[in-house]
């Protein structure tokens, strides 16, 4: 079965067909590195990762490009507000480049912990200013720009299909005035390609350009860097849904104005992760980071598992109760896999069968095919997870076969199933004397409970909790786990 993707451009499911047979050019908008990524941002990167993994498993050679925004992004995507990087640097008493380096490292530490495969090309905006200038010159030469107040703007009325991605109507846009509009703009939806007259007295980084010394508008970096690494036309572009009306709309306008050709064929947008209390905002400083989940005792893969439980095009509500549910489910999954691994002499390799292979017709194959269908129908990870569960719970499937298929499925899910089975469990790495102490305390707690001394029983539970040991009572007795 071919891969179907929901294309925001056209708002419909479409069968994916690459420009060049067997190859995929994919660009996903990367982070603005003025602060830690919040767990909502990380949802976008897990979505990109699932897409890339699914394409590679289907046999495509994928070039994945991600930008790092270290200049030019104002707090409003429509050129309003303050410069995010400069503001952060001032608040922290550092230079913009120090801030960028610090949060870029933090970003990749997070993505690594989430088992997100590093993009083929990671490109920083500040290292591609000349590419941006060259692209802006092409846009200018084709008559799409005007100068005002020292800045260079893109004139959206010159681009008749402006707003097609977001289904915006040019007539409505002309009429719609907004507050805080840059008075140099002829139309409030025009956007800056190059700023020379900075609104900010102490703009940290500026470059010489044909329009004067200044710095680029935010959108141009994605057009310039994607074309540099993927060519003037490429297959897929992704980002969060917030980017549809402004950032991606403007990226399309300026790219197609420069080349006169269609730029990107498929637009993939992930819905937002929301908190029970509402929107999460990186600029307000009030948000959850991956580290805050780790500090609360969760494994980053619990969060990945939680994300896989929702379809990328549905809004997902985050709560610690829901994350707790994902942790228990992931643990139960690993327990079942350890059980299956115990029945094998060695861990099998991922089943190398062609995803569409009809050669082996056993029950394992049925789950495998259903899993592939789920992924190929617009990356349905919730359905894919259900197939993984069906497979490993099915007692009619031989352990080694079930594991081999599960490991193959994990090439898309990215839950590190095989790697974890080959590592000793966290509990096994503890000092044996400490394990003895835990077991003695559990025995004492059981005796206390028998004697109805619940106060002592609770004391012991809390004492162990302080040492990161969690007790779980069940009809079979009390088991313990290390909180990792």
């897990």: which residue's tokens?
46
| Element containing residue 152 per DSSP (H, E) | strand 151-154
User: Counting contacts by CB under 5 A, is residue 29 touching Zn ion?
Assistant: yes
Q: What share of the chain is helix, strand, coil (3-state, %, to 5)?
A: 45, 15, 35
For the window 408-447, what string marks contact with Zn ion as x by the rule CB under 5 A?
Answer: ----------------------------------------
Helices (H), 297-362: 300-308, 320-342
Looking at the Cβ atoms of 172 and 276, the one nearer to ligand AMP is 276
Tell me which of ligand AMP, Zn ion, none is bound by residue 300, counting a contact when its beta carbon lies within the kind-specific cut-off of 5 to 8 angstroms. none
Least distance from C-beta 35 to ligand AMP, angstroms? 8
- 222 makes contact, choosing from ligand AMP, Zn ion, none, with CB < 5 to 8 Å by partner type, with Zn ion
Distance CA 156, CA 360 (A): 56
Minimum distance of ligand AMP from residue 272's CB (angstroms): 4
The alpha carbon of 157 is separated from its chain's Cα centroid by a whole number of angstroms, namely 34
As measured in angstroms, the least distance from the Cβ of 247 to Zn ion is: 5
**Binding residues for ligand AMP, per CB under 6 A?**
29, 31-32, 40-41, 43-44, 239-240, 242-243, 270, 272-273, 280, 282
Report the residue number, 280 or 391, with the smaller CB distance to ligand AMP: 280
Pick one of Zn ion, ligand AMP, none as the site partner of residue 252 (Cβ within 5 to 8 A by kind): none
Question: Which residue number, 29 or 316, has a Cβ lying nearer to Zn ion?
Answer: 29
Phi and psi torsions of 357, nearest 5°? -60, 125
Minimum gap (Å) between residue 222 Cβ and ligand AMP: 10
| DSSP string computed for 20-74 | STTEEEEEE---BTTSPPPHHHHHHHHHHHHHHHHHHHTT-EEEEEEEEB-S--B
Stretch that binds Zn ion, among 86-94, 216-224, 315-323, 333-341 (CB under 5 A): 216-224
Supply φ then ψ for residue 123, to 5 degrees. -125, 135
Q: Looking at 33, 46, 139, 222, which residue binds Zn ion (CB under 5 A)?
A: 222
Q: Measured from the CB atom, is 44 or 96 closer to ligand AMP?
A: 44
Residue number, nearest CB to ligand AMP: 240
Q: Which of Zn ion, ligand AMP, none does residue 41 bind (CB under 5 to 8 Å by kind)?
A: ligand AMP
Structure tokens at 274: 């929301």
Closest to 1 in 3D by CA, of 409, 417, 374, 414: 374
Residue 268: which of 117, 55, 87 has the closest Cα? Answer: 55
395-to-56, 288, 336, 390 alpha-carbon distances in Å: 30, 40, 11, 10
State the binding partner of 43 from Zn ion, ligand AMP, none, CB within 5 to 8 A by kind.
ligand AMP
Using the rule CB under 5 A, give the single segment among 43-51, 155-163, 214-222, 464-472 that binds Zn ion: 214-222
Summarize as ranges the residues that interact with Zn ion (CB under 5 A).
Answer: 29, 222
């Amino acid at each position: 079965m071919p891969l179907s993707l929901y294309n925001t451009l056209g708002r419909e499911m479409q069968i994916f067909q690459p420009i060049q047979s067997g190859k995929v050019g994919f660009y996903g908008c990367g982070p603005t590195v003025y602060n830690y990524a919040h767990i909502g941002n990380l949802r976008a990167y897990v979505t990109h990762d699932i897409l890339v993994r699914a394409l590679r498993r289907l046999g495509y050679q994928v070039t994945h490009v991600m930008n790092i925004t270290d200049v030019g992004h104002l707090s409003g995507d429509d050129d309003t507000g303050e410069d995010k990087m400069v503001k952060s640097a001032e608040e922290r008493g550092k230079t913009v480049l120090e801030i960028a380096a610090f949060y870029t490292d933090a970003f990749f530490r997070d993505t690594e912990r989430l088992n997100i495969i590093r993009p083929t090309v990671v490109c920083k905006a500040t290292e591609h200013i000349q590419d941006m200038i060259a692209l802006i010159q092409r846009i200018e030469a084709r008559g799409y720009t005007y100068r005002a107040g020292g800045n260079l703007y893109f004139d959206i009325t010159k681009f008749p299909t402006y707003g097609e991605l977001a289904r915006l109507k040019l007539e409505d846009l002309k009429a719609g005035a907004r507050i805080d509009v840059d008075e140099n703009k002829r139309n409030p939806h025009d956007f800056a390609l190059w700023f020379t007259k900075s609104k900010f007295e102490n703009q940290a980084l500026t470059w010489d350009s044909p329009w004067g010394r200044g710095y680029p508008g935010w959108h141009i970096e994605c057009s310039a860097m994607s074309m540099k690494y993927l060519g003037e036309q490429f297959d897929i572009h992704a980002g969060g849904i917030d980017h549809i009306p402004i950032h991606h709309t403007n990226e399309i306008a300026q790219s197609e104005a420069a080349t006169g050709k269609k730029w990107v064929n498929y637009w993939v947008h992930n819905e937002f992760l929301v908190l029970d209390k509402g929107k999460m905002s990186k600029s307000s400083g009030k948000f959850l980071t991956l580290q805050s989940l780790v500090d609360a005792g969760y494994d980053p893969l619990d969060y990945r598992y939680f994300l896989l439980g929702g379809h990328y095009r549905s809004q997902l509500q985050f709560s610690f109760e829901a994350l707790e549910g994902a942790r228990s489910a992931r643990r139960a999954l690993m327990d079942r896999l350890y059980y299956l691994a115990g029945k094998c002499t060695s861990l099998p390799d991922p089943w190398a069968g062609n995803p569409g292979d009809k050669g082996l017709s056993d029950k394992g194959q049925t789950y495998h095919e259903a899993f592939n269908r789920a992924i190929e129908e617009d990356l349905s990870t919730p359905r894919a997870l259900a197939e993984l569960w069906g497979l490993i719970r099915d007692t009619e499937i031989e352990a080694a076969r079930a594991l081999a298929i599960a490991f193959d499925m994990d090439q898309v899910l990215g839950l590190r199933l095989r790697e974890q089975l080959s590592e000793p469990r966290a509990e096994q790495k503890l000092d044996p004397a400490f394990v003895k102490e835990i077991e003695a305390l559990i025995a004492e707690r059981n005796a206390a409970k028998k004697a109805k001394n619940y106060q002592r029983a609770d004391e012991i539970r809390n004492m162990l909790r302080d040492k990161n040991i969690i007790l779980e009572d069940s009809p079979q007795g009390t088991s313990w786990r290390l909180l990792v």
